[in-house]
Each structure stands twice: as structure tokens, then as C-alpha cells.
Amino acid sequence: MAHHNHFVIRNDLPGALILNIEPEGAFFSLKKGEEVSVIEVFKTAPVTVKLTSSDSGAPILSIWPGDGEVKVKKDGVDVLDLLQERAGV
């Protein structure tokens, strides 16, 4: 039986929050006040959210999928699609 999970990550820090979307290793920066929705369908293992920091101390929030499918969306658009647009792909 599939389980569904949906939550919002909002950056209320004074500076940028870096999202690391795994397993792609895609980095996406959230400015103060910006947010993304995380939507997941999984069987037994849900998404894992891990908070770390870069060598310079910048916060990094990593999103690791469990045994299902995870989509991270900003303003209704998949973040991976936004990254491709920015890269000109």
C-alpha cells in the first residue's frame, strides 16, 4: 500500500538556504521567505531530510528519497526543471 507525504520547506533564515536534492545531487538556493513543497509517494521508507553546513558555514538541507518517488516543487514547478532552465538545457 502506498503512503503519501506532503510538506513545505520555508527559508526564514537571514541568508540563502541551499537545498541538495538527492540522488541527483542537484543544488537549489532558496532566498529568505521562499519555499518549496515536497511531495512523496512511498511504500515503507519515507524521505529523509538532513541538515548540514558547507565548509563556509552555509546551511544545506539535503532531501533523500526513501523507497518511493519524491518531487520538490517551487511555485508548482519541479525544481529539477527549474535548474535545467537556468542551465539552458
- Would you state the pLDDT for residue 42? 96
- Phi/psi at 77 (nearest 5 deg)? -110, 135
* Residue 76 neighbours by CB under 8 Å, 6+ apart: none
> What gap in Å lies between CA 41 and CA 53, rounded to an integer?
28
- Helix ranges (H only) for 21-78 are none
Nearest by Cα to 36 from 68, 70, 65: 70
Q: Which amino acid is at 44?
A: T
Q: How confident is the model at residue 75 (pLDDT cuts 50, 70, 90)?
A: very high
**pLDDT tens string 11-24:** 999 999 999 999 88
